[in-house]
Every structure is written in C-alpha cells, then in structure tokens.
Structure 1
Amino acid sequence: MRFPLFIATLMFLQPSVAHAESAAGEILEDDLRGHIEILASDGFAGRKPGTIGENKTVHYIATEWRKAGLQPAAGADSWYAPVALVDRTSLSESFAFQYDNGKRVKSVRIDDDQLLLRGAKPISSLSNIPLVHLGYGNQTVEEMEPVISGKLALMFLSSRPGVNGFPGYRERKANVIAAGASGVITVIKSESRFARAARRFRTANTSLDGEGKHADMEGIIGWKAVTKLLRKVDLDAEDLRDEAKSEIFQPLLLDIYADLSAETQVRSYVSHNVIGKIAGRDPASGAVLFLGHWDHLGECGPKNADDRICNGAVDNASGISLLIETAKRLTDGKSDRDIYFLATTAEESGLLGARAFAENPSFQIDRLVAVFNADTVALAPNGKLIAVVGRGETDLDEDLEKVAAAHDRKIDKTDKANAFIKRQDAYVFLERNIPAFMITSAFSDQKRLDSYLEGRYHDASDELDDQLLLGGAVDDANFHVALGRYFGNVETYKAKNAPNSAANSAGD
C-alpha cells in the first residue's frame, strides 16, 4: 500500500508559518483567476485523491489559508484530516440460484449480463445464502435486523414514488448493511438505467473505507432476472413492487438460495480534507462553516486523446478560489462566532469527504448556525440573480433575503436549483438538520448551466480559458463575505439553533 509514503509527503509539505496578508476591499476577478490558474493547471494533474495532484492541492489550500491568518483546525495543530478511502473494481463473478418448490430444490438460470457482483475483499464468496426482498429497504435497522442479518438483500434502487423526504438510496443501503446483511443486490427496473449502471460497475468504485461500510457482496440485477426469480416462487415482480409502496410492507423471506463469488481489485488509501479556522470573539455563540470540494477526476479523457487531464477549472477550482478569498476578508477579528473553512476530498465519488467529516468532525458540528458550500461558481457573467440550493429546507430563507437585499442581489424564487440538493456537499449537513446551502449565480441561468453540464462538465475541456466567466463568481465571492459577516455576528443574526453554554465551544 502506498499511503505511508503519501502521508510522509504531506508532512513534508506542511505550510510554513507566514504573516497574515491584508485583504481589505472587494474580491476581484484577478484574485479568483490566480488561484484557478494554479489549481486547474496540468501540474496538478486533475486533483485526483490519492495522487501527487492531491499533495499539491491540499498544500496549496493550507498555505493560502495560513497566509490569510487562519489557524489549522483538523486537530493536533494540523490542517489535514485523513479520510480512509477504498477503490473497488469488479473483475469477474459467478452465481447460481436454487429454489424450493415444496417437492425438491431446482436451479434457476440467470443470464450472465443480468447480474454483476463486487466483493469487499479481492476474493469473496457466499454459499447457500437465503434471499430476502426488502422492497425499498426503508425500514429501520432494528426492524430489518431479525430478518436480514446473515442473508442476501434485494432492494429497489429508486426512491418510493410520490413520497417527499423518502430516504435516499445511499442511506437505505447503509441501513441494510448496518442491519447485518451479508450481501446487498440492487434491483434496477429500467433496462437503459441498468445498462448505464453496468458500465459504471466495471470501473473503479470509490467509497469510504472502514468497518461496517460494505457488505461482503454487493451487486446490481436487472428487472428481467428479478421477474424470473420471483416467478419461480409464485410471486409477481410488478405486484411486489406495488406492495412495497405500502407503509405496512414487511421484508419478505424468499424460498430462494444463492451461491455467489466475485473477484475484485481492491485498493485502500488515505486522502485528506483541509480544515482551517478563524477564531470568534464569542465562541459560545456558535460557528459558521464555509466548504467546497477540492477534488476532481485526474485523467478522464479518451486514451488516445491529446489532452486526457480533466483540470476541473469550474468544478471546482472556482469554488476553492472563492473560499480562499472569502477567508482573507473575514480574518479581521470582527466575527463573534468561530468561522471554519473546509476543503473536502472525494466529493466526485459521492460527497465522501464531507460525509467523513460529519462522521468524525474536528469540532462539534451542533455549534453550526449556518453552512455554505461553494461549488461550480464560474459560469455566469454577472451575479445579480442568485440561485439557492437548499431554499425552503430551513428557516433561514428570510435571513438570506435580508443579506441579498442589503447587497443589491435578488434571489431566484423558482427553486429549480433544488434539483441539485443531494448532489453537493451541503446536503450532508442538511441530513443532520443543520441549515446548509449552496448559493451561486451560476445555477440561476438554466440555459447556461445546461450547456456546461452537457459539454465541459467532467471533461478535459473544463480548464482556464477565455470561456471561463468570472463576473458572477466575483459577485458570489463578495456575497459569501457578506454572509460570513451577517451570520458570524450575534447582533445581525440571533441564531435559532445557537448553543446556550460555553461548554459547547470546545476547541479543536
């Protein structure tokens, strides 16, 4: 494993002490452009976690924050919080199913292209394991444990139709694993969606590493195969799907047993979040958090392409540049509350750095009165209209309106941007009932946003060039400074969820 050398390199790259820079005045385009030019350069190789590109990126961020006057806040006077990751690549699998028809055990033939498997270890197998259909898998861990522990779970990928606030797939799957399932196989009804999932399944899947994070066996199965399996035990797949929508649906133990084996390429390594802090005058009054992800995809272009590096200028060198410049403007000692800055790893793999931080924070996150995520900000020529991802989800909308009005900004009232609410780091905090938003003019122009998503997004063409629009990013950066001043001070914002004792202000 390579991570001991990786950690040693990070120690070598600890930023040297420097005096805080004076950063009075508004943030300008050149301020943001300078950071993007460095972070999105070929020398940073696409900022992929676990590479030399990560080393350069996290060192650059920590150095800039130290120069601005921030304190390291990852614990033990460090800027870097380790995040254990694992890449698992499915290589091959074999499987066999049997069912008991009441007279004898018979085999069921499932087509090879209808089931893909991935093991937690390089060689994984389960023998004669009973299947349980969980429907959507939305029961509690305690409800599922008696019936699913030590068994193989089938569960639908999609959320239950028409139910607001229904748990997402990631949460439901985590609960199934926590309930003791030895295996989890996800049922995908749409043929086209299954085909897309199958293509992704054969590439490296990055996830958090650690005890209880993975079932022994995980996989995906097509609707045709599920229909065939259930028919053998006199069940109709469509009827079962309808029944699973009921509030009273209970996990169903099937008279079906499986022998599964998988060969999987497994690589464990350590990546890092970067965490800095501006100490407030009254830490007992709570804290504010600004965050954004530093990671991108590394090399993602076609193998025969002249340029294979996906530099991620917009996604998300632009957001990190905003955080650096925002931090510089808030280190003037005028904040009552502590202000934290968090640059996360592995957002592109499922908000993993943010999830790792929330699971093991370096400060008490119940102190947070507001969280602001900066992501993909360099898309608009100006930023008069602001999209708020997370609008309507908390009781802070009126406060955001107040800050916007004071700075001649207008908030988009259509809430179209909430389509991205689960696809960005702030969602990890919303899941924990902490007010969190992604605020950007880039998402207020649907036509321009769609053009980016259909073109340069996650492509080698997302680099610093004359197509990069920084007018809106500048306006957004200065607006984040305004948010820091408003929510950082008790006179302007009397927090509804503020701590009520100095005991809650425990340090890093």
Structure 2
Amino acid sequence: MLRTVTFTAAVLTLAACADMQAPTGGHAPQPTVAKIAGADFAWRTKTLSSDHFEGRGPGTAKGEVAADWIADDLKRMGLMPGAGVSYFQDVPAASIALDPTKSSFEIAGPDGAKQLKIADEVAFWTPRFDKADQAVKDSDLVFVGYGVTAPEERWNDFKGIDVKGKTIVLMINDPGFITGDKRMFKGRAMTYYGRWTYKFEEAARRGAAGVIIIHETEPAAYGWQVVRNSNTGAKYYLDKENGNADLAVVHSWVTTEAAKALFARAGLDYDKLRLAANKRGFRAVPMKGLKLNAVTHSAVARLKTRNVIGIVPGTARPNEYVLYTAHWDHLGVKQDVPGADKIHNGAVDNASGSAALLEMAEAFAAAPPKRSVMFAFVTLEEQGLLGSEYLAKHPPVALNKIVAGLNFDGVGPAGPSKDMTVVGSGASQLEDILAASLKKRGRTTTPDPEPEKGSFYRSDHISLAKVGVPMLYAGQGPNLVEGGVEAGMALRNDYRAKRYHQPSDEWSDGWDLRGPVETMEVAYEVGNTIANSNAWPTWYKGNEFRRVREKSLRAK
C-alpha cells in the first residue's frame, strides 16, 4: 500500500552539516562541509570503494555494512528516514550461486557431446530458485536471430516456429545494428529489444527451456571479461513464490568463437546467418542435430539486502518530492577471476555516484528547498536493476507525489567539459532545465555519443521511468576543455576496456575531480530549481512513458 510521508513544522529543522565527522567505514574520520567539495567527494568515494567493504556485494556481510555507512552519513547530516521510521527499505531477494564443479553445459551433436569451458567459452546459470538442482535434457537448438517480437516494427523472429522446450540461440542488440541499417528500429541507438534482459523475458514468454546469447563486443558494448565477471558467481533475483519457475531453466552467454563452432557443427555458416538475421522476413533456423544438455547445481538462499532512503523535508510543500537515485552495490568478491585481486571495488561504478548523492544531500540539508528532496541508494543494480525495480513497485511515497528524478551511475574522474551528455536525450522537459543551468556556465547539452550501447536501459532511472516518473540521466560530456572530444572519448574507452566490472576499478589519489564537481554542482542546481518551483516537468509528447505519467497524475 502506498502512503504519503508527511512532516509537520516541528520536524523540519535539520542538523547543521558543516564540520561534522563522517562515518568511518574502517577509516579515520573526515570532516565534511555543506558546500559541494571535491575533497569530500573524494573521501566518500575512496571509503565506499575501499577493500573494507569487499566490493559492496549485496546481501554479504561487508556489502551491507556499506549500506549502513550510507545511512549513518544521512543521519549525521540530519536527513529524515525515507522508509517509514527507517532509512532502510528491505528488498526481498534470492541468491543463486552456481557450483561449477557440479554443473555442466554440454552440446550434443552428430559428432558426439562436447562440453563448453565455463568462463572461457560460456557463462551460464539458472534463474530458477525453487530447487537447488535444475537440468535441461536433449533440448533442440534453434537460431532465432535477435529473438525479437516487435509488432510496431513489423518484426517477429519467432514467426512460424514453436520454441517451447527448445533452446534458442540469438544475437545481442537490435536488428540492423551490425549492418548499419538506420531504417530499422532506432538505427544505431539500442532499444529495449536489444537488451539481454528483454531476450530472457521473451524466451520465458515463448516457453523456451534454454537461452544462449552470442557475445560480440561491439553490439554488446563490452568485452567478454564483463560477461564473465558479471555472470559467474552468485546471481540475484527478486523473491517470488514460484522461485522463477516461469523462466527458462538455463540462461547463458557464449563467446563468438564458441558460437561459430556450434554453427559449423550444425552445418551452418555463422557469418551468413548473422547477416541474414538483419533482413526483414528472416525466419528461425533449426540447428539440426544439436541439443543442449545442461545441469546446474546451485546454492540457493534468500537474501537480506536493502535500499537506503533519506529525505530532506520541504519547507512549503513537503509532500511533493524531487528524487535523486544511485546504486550503492557492486560485484563483491569473485574468486574465479584471473589475477590475485578478487575484490571488485567499483570506485567509478558506483561508489562515485553514491558519493555524489551524499554530497548533494549535504548541500540540500543545509538549505532545504520548498519541496522535499528524496535520496534513494538502491541495491542489486548490477543484477538487473532489481533494487530500483522494487523501489518503483513499492515506493515509499505515492508515485504521483514524485515530481521528477535524477540518476547517477558513474561520476568518474575527468577534467572540465564544455558539455553534459544526456543519455536517452529528447525524452522530457528536465532536459530544458538542465540546458538552462548549463547555459549560465557557457556549456551545452549533447546527446549520448554512443546510443548503440543502450545506456538508457542499463541504469536505475529506467525503473522509475517505466512507472511514469520523469527521470534525467546525464553526466560529464566528452567535449573536454583540455583535449576536446578526442580526449573525452579516449578517457571513456580506456575505462570501459581496462576497469569496467573489473577489480581494477579502484580509487586513485590521482583522480581529476574537476569534472565530478562540475557535474554535482549542475545536478544540485537542476534539482533545487525544481524543488523551489511549482512546475511539474513531464515527458515530451510521443514519449513512451508519457501516457503512464498522465494516468498517474490523474489519480492524485
């Protein structure tokens, strides 16, 4: 049941913020100030990404201590609890930890049965947690192109074929991407149909027993090491009574090389079929003679993890809210990754985003606006945006009381830039407010330079957008003052290749903090502008989320 949090004048006084001692998190205390400051941001990022929290794995002892640390900081700064009388919103979830020594992924064919090497050739798991042991036996393989059913695009990869009980083999991203056909879907910009989450959802709707996604670096937007690191070890799902028995038994990714070998075994030409899958009228192709035999043995456990929520009560309209979101979790400790360092510290992803929210929370606490400001640090982002999904389905205040929101996922080191990138640009009036703030600084907004990477569907704002809340996901643009776009893109590409979802995503005292400070200052001003106005920014006409929002607002 939704409820609206109310505040009386008696509880509107917040604790003074300046020169207060921050929570230690296993480190010496650090004074922080109300003004957004690079030193405070650095301290918070360094602390949250330290080995002390062991990579902030949700549901782990040390990971949940990171959530405690954030809540302690919110309390210290004087924010009110945002989940009733608590700073914590419990997120019921289940963990499924595959035991690779008791699990196997085998493709049988006319030439015999061949097992794919776990982590090197395949990353697989079961999303089901109704029991520890799951199996797929003699399931025929079918290549279904991109595995997309999109009536509005006149596209159906499943036309004329029943894949119930079968294992579907498919490509990542959208039709038209690898051929550069801009007439299909949104051209180079990935749609939700291109996301791996959609592929698994559609497989469940079709009754498939197994799913094999073929990894290619460019359409996936990341290398195999990201797939391996993200999909080995424990997987997490929101708790359900049926234990996800409605999903496919086995989810998996395979390398391009492994896929080519499978196609060859079926007498098929992978290169020709991957191109054919991008043409209208494509029909699924049975991979004759190939069958999946997979066994998964997993340790299944219910998980205790939490979203952390704090509120700065508004001085005039406390029952209207501006929302800031960032995920606090990361990948934790993964023993199966190469090298001596097993801790995925996630300094950029997303200790930096959490630190940015704490910085802005401290600034708002020192000067509360007319509307309330809510800060939500969500869990289980790395496992499919589950914490924000739960927040959207179980909001601590009515959704039609949330005026708008801003999301932060990676506020990494960079110098000053001439622009800010809006991921999923052309969506809402929040972009107009952002543009006005930047104009005063001689800066501009720019669309996502890499829309093909599907970033709009890969962070927590999408969970709130789906239920109608206008959300802005913007960050430091690539057009750096020092070095221009070339330097900015080189910085992004270097992070993606060498640190993203790897143990090397660590804090460094050499971080350039000028970019993060710029981002926080603008984001604070955008939120403060909305919080001190009567405006209700909305989605632009034609946006996919506008109708949901209008229905929500009519229920006020």
- When normalised by structure 1's length, the TM-score is 0.76
Unaligned runs of 5+ in 2: 1-10, 19-33, 480-487, 540-545
| Residue 293 (structure 2) aligns with | 260
| Residue 31 (structure 2) aligns with | none
- Indicate conservation of the 8 Å contact 2:306/2:378, yes or no: yes
Distance 1:457 1:191, change over 3 A: closer
Task: For 2:292 and 2:15, locate their aligned partners in 1 and report how far apart those are by CA, in whole Å.
Answer: 63
> Quick one: which of 199, 212, 215 aligns to 1:185?
212
Cα deviation 1:251-273 (Å, max 9, x = unaligned): 56777674623133334333222
| Residue 134 (structure 2) aligns with | 124
Aligned counterparts, 1:299-310, within 5 A: 299=333, 305=340, 309-310=343-344
| Residue 410 (structure 2) aligns with | 376
> Quick one: which of 492, 506, 522 aligns to 1:449?
492
| Residue 478 (structure 1) aligns with | 521
Shift of residue 51, structure 1, vs aligned partner: 2.0
| Residue 23 (structure 2) aligns with | none
> Quick one: which of 325, 330, 334 aligns to 2:369?
334
Shift of residue 313, structure 1, vs aligned partner: 3.4
**More displaced, 267-276 or 54-63?**
267-276
| Residue 5 (structure 1) aligns with | none
Task: For 1:65 and 1:319, locate their aligned partners in 2 and report how far apart those are by CA, in whole Å.
Answer: 15
Identical aligned residues as a percent: 25
| Residue 112 (structure 1) aligns with | 115
Whether 1:227 and 2:263 are equivalent positions in the alignment is: yes
> Quick one: which of 241, 248, 251 aligns to 1:218?
251
| Residue 15 (structure 2) aligns with | 21
| Residue 153 (structure 1) aligns with | 168
| Residue 425 (structure 1) aligns with | 460
Task: For 2:406 and 2:519, locate their aligned partners in 1 and report how far apart those are by CA, in whole Å.
Answer: 12
Counterpart of 1:207, as a letter, is Y
RMSD (Å) for aligned C-alpha atoms: 4.2
Distance 1:94 1:382, change over 3 A: closer
- Indicate conservation of the 8 Å contact 2:55/2:330, yes or no: yes
| Residue 437 (structure 1) aligns with | 472
* SS of corresponding position for 2:55: coil
Distance 1:258 1:276, change over 3 A: same
Aligned counterparts, 1:327-406, within 5 A: 327-331=361-365, 332-336=367-371, 338-365=372-399, 368-382=402-416, 385-406=419-440
Shift of residue 137, structure 1, vs aligned partner: 1.6
* SS of corresponding position for 2:149: coil
Cα deviation 1:450-502 (Å, max 9, x = unaligned): 44444455555554443022222223222222111122244455546676888
Shift of residue 249, structure 1, vs aligned partner: 4.8
| Residue 6 (structure 1) aligns with | none
- Indicate conservation of the 8 Å contact 2:134/2:296, yes or no: yes
| Residue 43 (structure 1) aligns with | 52
> Quick one: which of 506, 527, 531 aligns to 1:488?
531
| Residue 102 (structure 1) aligns with | none
Counterpart of 1:126, as a letter, is V
| Residue 197 (structure 2) aligns with | 170
| Residue 104 (structure 2) aligns with | 93
Task: For 1:501 and 1:346, locate their aligned partners in 2 and report how far apart those are by CA, in whole Å.
Answer: 26
Task: For 2:458 and 2:417, locate their aligned partners in 1 and report how far apart those are by CA, in whole Å.
Answer: 22
| Residue 466 (structure 1) aligns with | 509
Shift of residue 344, structure 1, vs aligned partner: 1.9
Counterpart of 1:79, as a letter, is F
Distance 1:356 1:244, change over 3 A: farther
Task: For 2:416 and 2:263, locate their aligned partners in 1 and report how far apart those are by CA, in whole Å.
Answer: 53
Task: For 2:230 and 2:41, locate their aligned partners in 1 and report how far apart those are by CA, in whole Å.
Answer: 37
Task: For 1:346 and 1:149, locate their aligned partners in 2 and report how far apart those are by CA, in whole Å.
Answer: 30
Task: For 1:179 and 1:160, locate their aligned partners in 2 and report how far apart those are by CA, in whole Å.
Answer: 19
Task: For 2:394 and 2:209, locate their aligned partners in 1 and report how far apart those are by CA, in whole Å.
Answer: 26
Task: For 2:518 and 2:398, locate their aligned partners in 1 and report how far apart those are by CA, in whole Å.
Answer: 31
* SS of corresponding position for 2:325: strand
- When normalised by structure 2's length, the TM-score is 0.70
> Quick one: which of 131, 134, 149 aligns to 1:139?
149
Distance 1:215 1:154, change over 3 A: same
* SS of corresponding position for 2:146: coil
Distance 1:333 1:183, change over 3 A: same
Task: For 2:265 and 2:218, locate their aligned partners in 1 and report how far apart those are by CA, in whole Å.
Answer: 17
- Indicate conservation of the 8 Å contact 1:182/1:215, yes or no: yes
Task: For 1:316 and 1:199, locate their aligned partners in 2 and report how far apart those are by CA, in whole Å.
Answer: 19
* SS of corresponding position for 2:349: helix
Unaligned runs of 5+ in 1: 1-16, 99-106
- Indicate conservation of the 8 Å contact 1:132/1:153, yes or no: yes
- Indicate conservation of the 8 Å contact 2:230/2:501, yes or no: no
- Indicate conservation of the 8 Å contact 1:111/1:225, yes or no: no
Task: For 2:44 and 2:344, locate their aligned partners in 1 and report how far apart those are by CA, in whole Å.
Answer: 17
**More displaced, 493-502 or 54-63?**
493-502
Whether 1:411 and 2:444 are equivalent positions in the alignment is: yes
* SS of corresponding position for 1:413: strand
Distance 1:240 1:362, change over 3 A: farther
Distance 1:122 1:427, change over 3 A: same
Task: For 2:344 and 2:458, locate their aligned partners in 1 and report how far apart those are by CA, in whole Å.
Answer: 19
* SS of corresponding position for 1:348: coil
> Quick one: which of 38, 42, 56 aligns to 1:33?
42
Distance 1:270 1:248, change over 3 A: farther
Shift of residue 58, structure 1, vs aligned partner: 0.8
